[in-house]
């Protein structure tokens, strides 16, 4: 029986973007529910009932709810094994997870809406807030580029898309939004290759039904 899959998110959320890519790669049909982040809809009682953290996305599958985008991607990888998002042996999979987490755990949380709003609330100017986000992203992308520098192939870890690519592409989108420097040839080559794939093309924020 087909799964009833609902992605609760927001068009510009890079975490939701990751999950859209994974769903598309796995060929899983889904319907979307949107929560406007700048309006604080993610802090409404209806969404908090799904995710007490008040963070998008949340993924409902047959009535069960998952939080945290990487957990969602790994769940999809387990129940829909092809194409594998964590291929290779245990060492390879650990390296892929580490690269993905370098973005999802160390870069993205420091430049997301919640942190930037806190900086504004503390009285920092918009230039300072944007500069903070830009610096965080640039440092993160530089480290990420070094993490994958020795890997050959089209994507971050060879010639197949992995969880690392799923995290990288939305972060490059954030980089452009904040005016971060983009002098990372290897990362841009990976991005260009990913953008040739239908799963990545249909998942971009501007094509989502709630895009503004």
Specify whether the CB–CB gap between 28 and 5 falls below 8 A.
Answer: yes
Q: What pLDDT score does 1 carry?
A: 37
Residue 193, sorted as left (phi over 0), alpha (psi -120 to 50) or beta, turns out to be alpha
Task: Give residue-wise pLDDT tens across range 100-138.
Answer: 999 999 999 999 999 999 999 999 999 999 999 999 999
Q: What pLDDT score does 75 carry?
A: 98
Task: Give residue-wise pLDDT tens across range 162-198.
Answer: 999 999 999 999 999 999 999 999 999 999 999 999 9
Task: Give residue-wise pLDDT tens across range 54-83.
Answer: 999 999 999 999 999 999 999 999 999 999
Residue 2: pLDDT band with limits 50, 70, 90: low
Helices 126-147 and 90-104 cross at an angle (nearest 10°) of 170
Percent over 90 (pLDDT), the chain? 98
Specify whether the CB–CB gap between 187 and 145 falls below 8 A.
Answer: yes
**Residues 5-27, mean pLDDT to the nearest whole number:** 98
Q: How far is CA 149 from CA 9, 144, 156, 186, in A?
A: 33, 8, 9, 8
Percent over 70 (pLDDT), the chain? 99
Residue 208: pLDDT band with limits 50, 70, 90: very high
Specify whether the CB–CB gap between 154 and 115 falls below 8 A.
Answer: no
Q: How far is CA 203 from CA 169, 178, 200, in A?
A: 11, 20, 5
Specify whether the CB–CB gap between 116 and 133 falls below 8 A.
Answer: yes
Only one residue has tokens 């039904």, namely 209
- Give the up-direction half-sphere exposure of residue 118: CA atoms within 13 A in the CB hemisphere: 9
Residue 3: pLDDT band with limits 50, 70, 90: confident
* pTM for the whole structure: 0.96
Q: How far is CA 194 from CA 48, 87, 136, 147, 177, in A?
A: 34, 17, 24, 19, 19
Domains of the chain in sequence order: 5-83+200-207 (3.40.30.10), 90-197 (1.20.1050.10)
């Amino acid at each position: 029986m087909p799964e009833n899959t609902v992605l609760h998110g927001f068009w510009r959320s890079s975490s939701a973007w990751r999950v859209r890519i994974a769903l598309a790669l796995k060929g899983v049909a889904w319907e979307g529910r949107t929560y406007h982040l700048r309006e604080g809809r993610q802090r409404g009682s209806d969404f908090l009932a799904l995710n007490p953290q008040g963070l998008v996305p949340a993924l409902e599958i047959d009535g069960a709810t998952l939080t945290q985008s990487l957990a969602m991607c790994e769940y999809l990888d387990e129940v829909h094994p092809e194409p594998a998002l964590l291929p290779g042996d245990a060492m390879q999979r650990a390296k892929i997870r580490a690269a993905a987490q370098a973005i999802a755990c160390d870069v993205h949380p420091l430049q997301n809406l919640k942190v930037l709003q806190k900086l504004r609330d503390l009285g920092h100017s918009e230039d300072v807030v944007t500069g903070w986000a830009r610096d965080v992203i640039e440092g993160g992308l530089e480290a990420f580029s070094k993490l994958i520098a020795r890997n050959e192939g089209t994507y971050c870890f060879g010639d197949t898309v992995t969880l690392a690519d799923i995290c990288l592409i939305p972060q490059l989108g954030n980089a452009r939004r904040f005016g971060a420097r983009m002098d990372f040839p290897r990362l841009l080559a990976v991005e260009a290759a990913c953008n040739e794939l239908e799963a990545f093309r249909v998942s971009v924020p501007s094509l989502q039904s709630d895009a503004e």
